[in-house]
Amino acid sequence: MILCDIGNSFLHFYNHGKVWREKRDNLSLKDSKEIIIFISVNEELTKSLLYSHASCFDLTPFLSLDTNYKGLGVDRIAACKAIKDGVIVDAGSAITIDVMQQGIHLGGYILPGITQYKKILGSIPVLDCEINLNVNVHTFPQNTRDAVSFGILKSILLMIENTSKNKKIYFTGGDGKFLSRFFQNCIYDELLVFKGMQKVIAEEITSKGIML
């Protein structure tokens, strides 16, 4: 069994403790005996997966969450399923922040990812510079590059800090490990979405005897 989280840019795979990502136009051949269980937020990338592999199973209809949020992405639902209490920060192209309390999703919001912030500010020529990821976020910047970097990082960090209060923070996604270094009561887990998928498979598929 191979798990696949199809995002807006890449297909992320998990199998036997290994995580990797692939582009739609360069999908590797998988063992034909393996079933790929997937969730997706991108229809075109989903078509590419289904075309490349004969045995696929869409887990999406089996994912649900106790929440009032309308239109919550399936990848966010999967990540939230893995956590009973805490703040989930999935830092990729966009940064999604969701709050779980005793298994209930209280809500969440979306920010541009670090790269997207750079693109937005880069549309202004004088601000088109590389981000200094080592900028000191505790002192006022003294040059434009640091000012841009400070503005991007501080806005993200303050939003997470304001939301988390005393809750534990669970970081995942491409920039999750980097952002986690600014917080103490946190964990970085690149498998968070896949752990949520595994939980749903155990509770909704395997336990009910549904044939894959």
DSSP code of 205?
I
Is residue 75 annotated as a catalytic residue, yes or no? Answer: yes
Backbone angles phi, psi at 101, to 5 degrees: -140, 115
> Which one is catalytic: 31, 66, 75, 128?
75
Give CA–CA dist 43/45, Å, rounded.
6
Q: Are 39 and 55 in contact (CB under 8 A)?
A: no
Give CA–CA dist 106/112, Å, rounded.
21
Residue linked to tokens 């490990």: 177
Give CA–CA dist 126/54, Å, rounded.
50
Q: Are 156 and 162 in contact (CB under 8 A)?
A: no
Q: Are 89 and 95 in contact (CB under 8 A)?
A: yes
Catalytic residues: 75
